[in-house]
């Protein structure tokens, strides 16, 4: 039994010897993915194709990036333009003029003083009333466009507050102006009515009183919501009042002059002497004047017959020259005598 086993082992040894004597090939390395390696060489056209594909991918990526960048730039330009347009609606020439008008209103001109204070704060917050210079150009970068749009939106918010404050100031000013104009007109109507009653019969031209009455009636018919209508009516009343006062003054001056003239005339009459000559007494006979030796009965001295009489009278004592009938023929001022 043991012999048989030894023989089988010996036989096995004999069989394995030829195998060990053969050349053993190194083990093949299998790829990780399990594919069987191939000793075939790659085609020459494969590398250029791969490069071309990569180039196409890169170009496509660049084109896509560029398109995206253009879209972002266009969106930024549009946003900036809209922001600037909105700002310009609040900062145009007419709007800025109204803001400056409101900023010049003082506390004494408004009904509500708080509106003036709010206006001052809004102007300070906007860093003064200056025309914005924000621009959006296609040549600007997307970042610059976004920056300008942000500035425009910020200023728009500030000028929105300015616009609101200016509106409140002007409304408060107009309210006070209307109330003041109504009160002034009421006072002027009272003044005009009193003058109309006091001037009756005391004017040089009664037409001025008629004009005053018409102005009073017209002023009482105003139902306007604007201060200017009441101010114009008050001005018309004042003009009519001035005309009546001037007419009253003219009549007063005329009356005073007439009274003065009447007083002067009365005083002159009272001072005139009563002079009645007796015969030739009181007759002024110039030394060089030729006097007829026998004047005609019932006649009188004819100054034309004595050309030097007037000259002699002027050089003499200035007394009256009386003819033989007792009539004054020269220097007769104050002469009251008669036969």
pLDDT digit string, tens, across residues 308-333? 665 555 555 556 666 666 666 666 65
Q: What pLDDT is stored for residue 324 in this prediction?
A: 60
Give the Cα-Cα-Cα angle 308, 313, 315 (nearest 5 degrees). Answer: 95
- Cα 45 vs. chain centroid, distance in angstroms? 84
Question: Between β-strands 321-322 and 328-330, what pairing exists: parallel, antiparallel or unpaired?
Answer: antiparallel
Assess contact for 90 and 96: CB atoms under 8 A.
no
Q: What pLDDT is stored for residue 309 in this prediction?
A: 60
Helix (H, G, I), strand (E, B) or coil at 220: coil
Residue 45 has φ and ψ, to the nearest 5°, of -80, -10
Residue 281 has pLDDT above 60, yes or no: no
Give the confidence band of 101 by pLDDT, cuts at 50, 70, 90.
Answer: very high
Residue 38 has pLDDT above 90, yes or no: no
Distance CA 128, CA 110 (A): 22
Residue with the bigger pLDDT between 317 and 100: it is 100
Distance CA 275, CA 300 (A): 19
Give Cβ neighbours of residue 48 (< 8 Å, ≥ 6 apart): none
Assess contact for 309 and 330: CB atoms under 8 A.
yes
Give the confidence band of 48 by pLDDT, cuts at 50, 70, 90.
Answer: confident
Distance CA 134, CA 296 (A): 121
Helix (H, G, I), strand (E, B) or coil at 137: coil
Residue with the bigger pLDDT between 273 and 125: it is 125
Residue with tokens 């007063």: 252
Distance CA 209, CA 244 (A): 6
- CA of 174: how far to CAs of 171, 178, 227, 315, in Å? 5, 6, 7, 83
Residue 297 has pLDDT above 50, yes or no: no
Q: What pLDDT is stored for residue 122 in this prediction?
A: 97
Question: Which of 8-12, 242-246, 253-257 has the weakest average pLDDT?
Answer: 8-12
Residue 22 exposed, middle or buried by CB count within 10 Å (0-12, 13-18, 19+)? exposed
Give Cβ neighbours of residue 284 (< 8 Å, ≥ 6 apart): 313, 316, 317, 319, 320, 321, 322, 330, 331
User: For residue 91, what is the DSSP state?
Assistant: S
For the ranges 15-19, 147-151, 305-309, the maximum mean pLDDT occurs at: 147-151
Of 119, 125, 229, which Cα lies nearest the Cα of 172? 119
Outline where DSSP puts E strands in the chain.
321-322, 328-330
Distance CA 65, CA 88 (A): 34
Residue with tokens 């266009």: 74
Of 108, 131, 129, 107, which Cα lies nearest the Cα of 118? 107
Structural element, H or E, at residue 149 = helix 142-198
Average pLDDT of every residue of the chain: 78
Distance CA 156, CA 85 (A): 10
Question: pTM above 0.85?
Answer: no
φ/ψ bin of 282: left (φ > 0), alpha (ψ from -120 to 50), beta (otherwise): left
Residue 236 structure tokens: 């018309």
Q: What pLDDT is stored for residue 307 in this prediction?
A: 58
């Amino acid at each position: 039994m043991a012999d048989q086993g030894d023989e089988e082992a010996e036989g096995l040894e004999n069989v394995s010897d030829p195998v060990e004597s053969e050349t053993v090939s190194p083990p093949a390395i299998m790829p990780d993915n399990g594919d069987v390696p191939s000793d075939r060489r790659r085609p020459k056209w494969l590398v250029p194709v791969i490069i071309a594909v990569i180039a196409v991918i890169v170009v496509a990526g660049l084109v896509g990036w560029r398109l995206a960048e253009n879209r972002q730039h266009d969106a930024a330009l549009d946003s900036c333009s809209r922001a600037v347009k909105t700002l310009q609606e609040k900062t145009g020439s007419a709007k800025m003029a109204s803001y400056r008008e409101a900023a010049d209103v003082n506390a004494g001109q408004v009904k509500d003083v708080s509106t003036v204070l709010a206006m001052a704060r809004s102007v300070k917050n906007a860093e003064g009333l200056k025309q914005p210079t924000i621009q959006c150009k296609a040549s600007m970068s997307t970042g610059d466009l976004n920056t300008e749009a942000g500035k425009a939106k910020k200023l728009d918010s500030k000028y929105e507050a300015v616009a609101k404050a200016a509106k409140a100031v002007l409304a408060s000013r107009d309210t006070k102006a209307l109330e003041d104009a109504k009160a002034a007109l009421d006072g002027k109507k009272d003044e005009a009515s009193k003058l109309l009653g006091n001037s009756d019969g005391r004017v040089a031209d009664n037409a001025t009183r008629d004009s005053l009455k018409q102005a009073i009636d017209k002023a009482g018919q105003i139902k306007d919501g604007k201060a200017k209508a009441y101010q114009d009516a008050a001005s018309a009343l004042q003009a009519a009042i001035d005309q009546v006062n001037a007419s009253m003054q003219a009549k007063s001056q005329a009356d005073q002059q007439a009274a003065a003239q009447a007083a002067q005339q009365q005083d002159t009459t009272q001072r005139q002497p009563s002079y009645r000559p007796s015969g030739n007494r009181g007759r002024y006979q110039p030394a060089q004047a030729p006097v007829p030796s026998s004047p005609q009965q019932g006649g009188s001295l004819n100054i034309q017959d004595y050309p030097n009489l007037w000259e002699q009278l002027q050089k003499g004592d200035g007394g009256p020259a009386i003819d033989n009938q007792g009539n004054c023929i020269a220097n007769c001022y104050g002469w009251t005598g008669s036969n």
